[in-house]
A = this chain, B = another copy of it.
Amino acid sequence: MTFLARILVFPREGVLDTQGKAVEKSLNRIGFGSVREVRVGKYIQVLLEADSEADAAAAAESMCGELLVNDLIEDHTVQVGPWKP
């Protein structure tokens, strides 16, 4: 079965988010004064084969651990569901 894993990766609490700060300043300057904070992270979408949703979730989690995320500086969340093309 094919599953879709949606992985959000963003700078850990307390870790300097250089992009977020730059985007925040720019938004404020171009007229979005109501913006209080911006954080910029990565969105990774993985299509994978697995026997069950639980297996797919486990695989996605281990991809994060091994390649996609450096948990020294990044937090992440994984959402897995069946893939509907």
Contacts and interface: CB of A to CB of B under 8 A. Distances in A.
Interface in A35-85: 35-50, 59, 63, 66-68
Nearest to A83: B36
Interface residues of A, number: 32
* Highest count of chain B CB atoms <10 Å: which of A27, A37, A43: A43
Given A27-B67, A30-B66, A43 B43 contact: yes
Number of identical protomers = 2
Interface residue SS majority, chain A: strand
B46 A43 contact: no
Interface of A: 2, 8-10, 20, 23, 26-27, 30, 32, 34-50, 59, 63, 66-68
